[in-house]
């Protein structure tokens, strides 16, 4: 079957537009946080796997960090373990942590690895406990109201923050033509497991690897202004101003702060990408328009 003339012309245009981007990013490392709708729709899952394999085939080095909150919630419900959240973070007692490790390190991680491999890639699944990949410590959460004389310390269990990344392991895998797929489980000094937000893990991995790009797949079109228009090409100073004037607030704040820390820590650019769009990763990397919000540490001229 041959392509219609118009369809063929469109394919040629896309390939031609992609070429300079491919040349620019050959040999560079891109860290992609995979989650949200992109992990739930069969079409989007297949497309994501193909995107990752294509990136590797043209000489770009993808490193995938994935979430899995809905899958964790489903299994906890089936096991009659009640879920509690504080400031958007799942309170993780010992029983919940066991489920988190089963779901993230087992079910979700291996399904992503398998999908990438089915499309011709060589993916290897890891948790932060493998070779001390993601070193972590307990996250301290405090809350203070005007009537309180000092902050209240809230124990949310096995929830952690990243203290270090084993870049030697990741570099070895990347150079060996493998695609690392990382579950966001960290390991403490005494071997204890920690549940860590996948965006934060992706950001810290990108910083440690001095990655060219950090891409955070989301369920929204990107960072929007007060008129509902997607903002892109932002500097860190512009993002700080948007936080100060209230344009960025609520659930978007942690994701944006993660992106900010990454570019301030040496990552060339961070992208908030609409994971509901088919082939969103390739569109953001290989086209002029992209499908999300770009943040860089470059100063405005």
pLDDT per residue over 78-99, tens digit each?
A: 998 888 887 777 888 889 899 9
Tell me, yes or no, whether 17 lies in a domain. Answer: no
Check residue 301 and give its pLDDT.
42
The residue segments making up the domain with residue 255 are: 28-296
- CA 156-244-213 angle, to 5 degrees, is 70
CA gap 123, 181 in Å, rounded: 7
Q: How many CA atoms lie within 13 A of 219 on its CB side?
A: 8
Share of residues in the chain with pLDDT > 90 (%):
41
Tell me, yes or no, whether 218 lies in a domain. Answer: yes
78 is in an annotated binding site: no
68 is in an annotated binding site: yes
47 is in an annotated binding site: no
Q: Which of 278, 293, 298 is nearest to 229 (CA)?
A: 293
Residue 181, Cβ density class (10 Å: 0-12 exposed, 13-18 middle, ≥19 buried): buried
Tell me, yes or no, whether 45 lies in a domain. Answer: yes
Tell me, yes or no, whether 184 lies in a domain. Answer: yes
pLDDT, tens digit (0-9, with 9 covering 90-100), for 220-242 = 766 766 666 776 777 777 777 77
pLDDT, tens digit (0-9, with 9 covering 90-100), for 56-84 = 999 999 999 998 888 888 898 899 888 88
The whole-number average pLDDT for the span 244-252 is 70
Tell me, yes or no, whether 34 lies in a domain. Answer: yes
The whole-number average pLDDT for the span 107-135 is 95
Tell me, yes or no, whether 194 lies in a domain. Answer: yes
Tell me, yes or no, whether 19 lies in a domain. Answer: no
Tell me, yes or no, whether 21 lies in a domain. Answer: no
CA gap 131, 167 in Å, rounded: 10
Q: Kindly report the backbone phi and psi dihedral angles of residue 125, in degrees, each rounded to the nearest multiple of 5, phi listed first.
A: -85, 135
Question: Of residues 148 and 189, which shows the higher confidence score?
Answer: 189
Count how many domains the chain has. 1
Q: What is the CATH number of the domain that holds 291?
A: 3.40.1160.10
Sign, Cα dihedral of 232, 267, 69, 151: negative
């Amino acid at each position: 079957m041959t392509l219609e003339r118009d369809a063929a012309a469109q394919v040629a245009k896309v390939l031609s537009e992609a070429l300079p981007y491919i040349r620019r990013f050959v040999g560079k490392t891109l860290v992609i946080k995979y989650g949200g709708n992109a992990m739930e729709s069969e079409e989007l899952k297949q497309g994501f796997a193909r995107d990752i394999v294509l990136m590797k085939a043209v000489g770009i080095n993808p490193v995938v960090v994935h979430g899995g909150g809905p899958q964790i919630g489903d299994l906890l419900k089936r096991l009659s373990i009640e879920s509690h959240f504080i400031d958007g973070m799942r309170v993780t007692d010992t029983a919940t942590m066991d489920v988190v490790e089963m779901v993230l390190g087992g079910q979700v991680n291996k399904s992503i690895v398998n999908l990438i491999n089915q499309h011709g890639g060589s993916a290897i699944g890891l948790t932060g406990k493998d070779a001390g990949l993601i070193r972590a410590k307990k996250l301290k959460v405090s809350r203070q109201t005007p009537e309180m004389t000092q902050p209240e310390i809230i124990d949310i269990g096995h929830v952690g923050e990243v203290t270090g990344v084993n870049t030697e392991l990741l570099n070895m895998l990347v150079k060996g033509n493998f695609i690392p797929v990382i579950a966001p489980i960290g390991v403490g000094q005494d071997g204890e497991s920690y549940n860590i937000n996948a965006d934060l893990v992706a950001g810290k991995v990108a910083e440690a690897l001095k990655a060219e790009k950090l891409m955070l797949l989301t369920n929204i079109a990107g960072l929007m202004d007060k008129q509902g228009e997607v903002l892109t090409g932002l500097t860190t100073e512009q993002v700080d101003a948007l936080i100060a004037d209230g344009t960025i607030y609520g659930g978007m704040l942690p994701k944006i702060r993660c992106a900010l820390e990454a570019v301030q820590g040496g990552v060339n650019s961070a992208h908030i990408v609409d994971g509901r769009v088919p082939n969103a990763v390739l569109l953001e990397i290989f086209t002029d328009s992209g499908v999300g919000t770009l943040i860089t540490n470059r100063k405005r001229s």
